[in-house]
Amino acid sequence: MSPYRPLDRGWTASTASTEPPIEGVPATVPGSVHTDLLAAGLIDDPYLDDNESGLAWIGRARWRYATEFTMSPADDGCDRADLVFEGLDTVATVSVNEIEVGTVANMHRTYRFPVRELLRDGRNTLTVHFESPYRYAEDRRAELGERPGPYPEPYQFIRKMACNFGWDWGPTLVTAGIWRPVGLHTWNTARLAQVRPEVTLNGDDGLVRVHVMVERAADIPLTLTAAVAGTSVRVPLAPGECETVLELRVREPARWWPRGYGAQALHQLTVVLEETGETWRRRVGFRSIRLDTTPDADGSAFTLVVNDVPVFVRGANWIPDDCFPARISRERLAERFAQACDAQVNLLRVWGGGLYESDDFYDLADEQGLLVFQDFTFACAAYPEEEPLYSEVAAEAREQVVRLAPHPSLALWIGNNENFMGYADWGWREPLAGRTWGEAYYLDVLPRVVAELDPTRPYWPGTPYSGDTGRHPNAPEQGTVHIWDVWNDLDYTHYANWRPRFVAEFGFQGPPAYATLRRSVTGGPLTADSSHQKADDGQGKLLRGMAGHLPPPATFDDWHYYSQLNQARAVTFGVERFRALMPYCMGTIVWQLNDCWPVTSWSAIDGDGRRKPLWYALRRAYADRLLTVQGGDLVAINDSADPWSGELSLVRHGLTGEPLAKDSVRVLVPPRSVARIPMARPVATPADPAAELLVAGLGDARTVHFFAEDTAVAFPSADFDAEARPVADGYLVTVTARTILRDLALFPDRLDPDATVDDMMITLLPGERTVFRVRSSRDLDPGALTCPPVLRCVNDTK
């Protein structure tokens, strides 16, 4: 028998509660109760219509998973046999041949149970009994006392993915099941129990200190070898010795760089236990990383520095890509990562209400140069520090730090999401009445774990956090901020009033793509209220956010286009504002990149993986080279490794396209810098703001700036020539403007759910032309591709 035997076949799921009676449903492992019931036809798809609302009983039921496996007499030669669960969700009792081998209560940990003495030749049974997550969490709440949180759900009392219990973008689908692989590991003599490399730079050389722990079945001498980048070392372990450090010095290795700064050099590190041949393999990267928080006259910096080069973070927040994580394949992650990279994103922040993601996630980040900020899994609530949760948190942190430390993409550990803010501003103190709320985790437990097990990386206690508990956590002049007064209360132009050092969350809502919305609503015509909407007064905020910027929507088609467009404009406004502050501000992390289901949310990529207009706006706003109008200045942002020089063209036009004033300026923008160019009064000052606009261009970069909001601009009715021409993989749609066309967009998914378009939100002056490339495997109606609602612009209803 192989030393590791997957136990992923023959599982069944049954209710262990009295109601409802469900017996022997075929179960997929890895998986979850919800997906098993869905596959068996026992529940409707929770992502469609309002089906979610009828499935709360699943999280309140107890479940039993069971399978059988066989052992042969030949298997008796092993000294040890361990049952290994890589993920159990969440409160479970494991039994082999009806003998209990362990209980667990943490979704974020792996478990290994010695079972050699329990196994028998022939048939063996394996059973996992899952307690109701609600019952467990509510029992802990009764023992430890209530703690404040944003929703009437007890997620802070159980070590489980918090957003399972619902969020302002996600459904309440409280899962149970074997969510990561399970197998039987048989071994002799000894095994590699833990391998923890510390990979650093020492001048131009690389240094790897590999901390190894072995578990023994025999007290004999052992030998460990380690090798990386052509360098190897061999270390003996005396009888009874279980820990050692293997040190390798690599002369001038190729370094790992974030995308946009250099290549992602990865080197295979292997550790071998010679007596058994067991081999541990990981790819590592040589790079240095630090967080510069140097005090200055305004407060203190918050700058990520990689290989001694300051990095401006063009980031996006990441949530679990599915409510049922076992459905997230490497291929699906690769698609999301490609979408992030194509949008010029260089960092993903793994948000604390979700998961420590799969190995595939971090491997892909390593390969593609996407930096990762990793939250520990605490979000938006007061967390008890008493047992049994305290020990679970410490064990979880130790395991996850060791697991993720080899990845060069991992740039920063963050203690929590918004819990310092909650304690400061959300009225927690009075209801807490002196009870614990998680502070000891963020300021003591977690930093000690990181310092011990991953000293090569910085730790930051939370976000937002200003670096000192004596300051307000959302102080803009220090640390990280979250900006949610915009969206919740204020117009998006209020971003201009912020002067932050680093923005870790900000965003604006918009609905999913039409095809996604149409799929999620199985009957009847679509309306503005058809989409799932979880945000408090979300629909009202969407409409108020459009007011003053765009015409009132008269139809569903208007609402869908305007609200998506307004989301894109709002985020663009914020990104451009904060990038223009570089190097005072050194990062923006947009909320959010992705969705877990079809919903109106802050995402750039919707729950079916389709790109919303925000995605195209991010690609433009996160470009290496960007022009933006800030106040009376034209700001040229050069976040590339090369100088940017040329003639900056500035032209004030009338709406009919005629130039009213011109200027040109010779500019040189050094690498990784910002140049502010005051604009001459003739081009910067309109005679009639409602009838004029500014166009600026430098090389391939262009920006179009209107002097008034669209609701005040005297747009003519849209007039254009459009032609859709079939090509090998779809269509080329050519649009030639006869009048100005404001934010021209094409939505081919209205005709083919799988169709995509290469660009969106293009403003054309009279006489200008653009070509959209539509990819589709279907024959589409050329006429439909060239008129509303597929082809839209702001002034097409004029």
User: Does the pLDDT value for residue 632 go beyond 80?
Assistant: yes
In CATH, 311-323+332-337+366-401+410-447+460-610 is 3.20.20.80: yes
User: Does the pLDDT value for residue 74 go beyond 80?
Assistant: no
Coil, helix or strand at residue 95: strand
d(CA 119, CA 125): 9
pLDDT at 798: 60
Given the structure tokens 């140069």, which residue do they identify?
Answer: 369
User: Does the pLDDT value for residue 501 go beyond 60?
Assistant: yes
pLDDT in tens, 326-351: 999 999 999 999 999 999 999 999 99
Coil, helix or strand at residue 129: strand
pLDDT at 772: 98
pTM recorded for the entire structure = 0.97
Mean predicted confidence (pLDDT) in 372-386: 98
pLDDT in tens, 8-67: 999 999 998 767 889 999 999 999 999 999 999 999 999 999 999 999 999 999 999 999
Q: Is 23 exposed, middle or buried (0-12, 13-18, 19+ CB in 10 A)?
A: exposed
Q: What residues does CATH 2.60.120.260 cover in the chain?
A: 4-185
Q: What residues does CATH 3.20.20.80 cover in the chain?
A: 311-323+332-337+366-401+410-447+460-610
pLDDT at 132: 97
Given the structure tokens 């001459």, which residue do they identify?
Answer: 680
Mean predicted confidence (pLDDT) in 338-366: 98
d(CA 212, CA 235): 11
CB 594 within 8 A of CB 343: no
Counting other chains too, the contacts that 602-608 makes at CB distance below 8 Å and 24 or more residues apart are 602/169, 602/487, 602/507, 602/508, 602/509, 602/510, 602/567, 603/169, 604/316, 604/343, 605/336, 605/339, 606/512, 606/513, 606/516, 607/47, 607/512, 607/516, 607/520, 608/512, 608/513, 608/515, 608/516, 608/519
Work out the angle between the directed axes of helices 446-453 and 389-404 (0-180°, nearest 10). 30
pLDDT at 143: 97
Coil, helix or strand at residue 110: coil
Mean predicted confidence (pLDDT) in 450-456: 97
Coil, helix or strand at residue 489: coil
> DSSP state, 157?
G
User: Does the pLDDT value for residue 76 go beyond 80?
Assistant: no
pLDDT at 200: 96
Determine if the peptide bond prior to 90 is cis (ω within 30°). yes
Helix ranges (H only) for 274-386 are 330-342, 359-368
The domain made up of 4-185 has a fold known as: Jelly Rolls (2.60.120)
The fraction of the chain above a pLDDT of 90, given in percent, is 97
d(CA 561, CA 564): 5
Answer positive or negative: Cα dihedral of 768, 772, 773, 778: negative
- pLDDT, mean over the chain: 97
Q: Where does the pLDDT of residue 797 fall: very low under 50, low under 70, confident under 90, or very high at 90 and above?
A: confident
Given the structure tokens 């409510």, which residue do they identify?
Answer: 323
d(CA 465, CA 441): 15
> Looking at 11-20, 341-350, 486-495, 676-685, which range is the least confident one?
11-20
pLDDT at 53: 94
**Residue 767 Rama label (left phi>0; alpha psi -120 to 50; beta):** left
CB 652 within 8 A of CB 661: yes
d(CA 147, CA 168): 19
Q: ∠ CA(77), CA(79), CA(81), 5° rounding?
A: 100
End-to-end CA, the chain: 74
Write the CATH number of the domain with boundaries 628-712: 2.60.40.10
The fraction of the chain above a pLDDT of 70, given in percent, is 99
Q: Is 684 exposed, middle or buried (0-12, 13-18, 19+ CB in 10 A)?
A: buried
Q: Where does the pLDDT of residue 72 fall: very low under 50, low under 70, confident under 90, or very high at 90 and above?
A: confident
Q: What residues does CATH 2.60.40.10 cover in the chain?
A: 628-712
Name the CATH code of domain 720-797 (choices 2.30.30, 2.60.40, 1.10.730, 1.20.1740).
2.60.40
pLDDT at 789: 97
Mean predicted confidence (pLDDT) in 562-579: 98
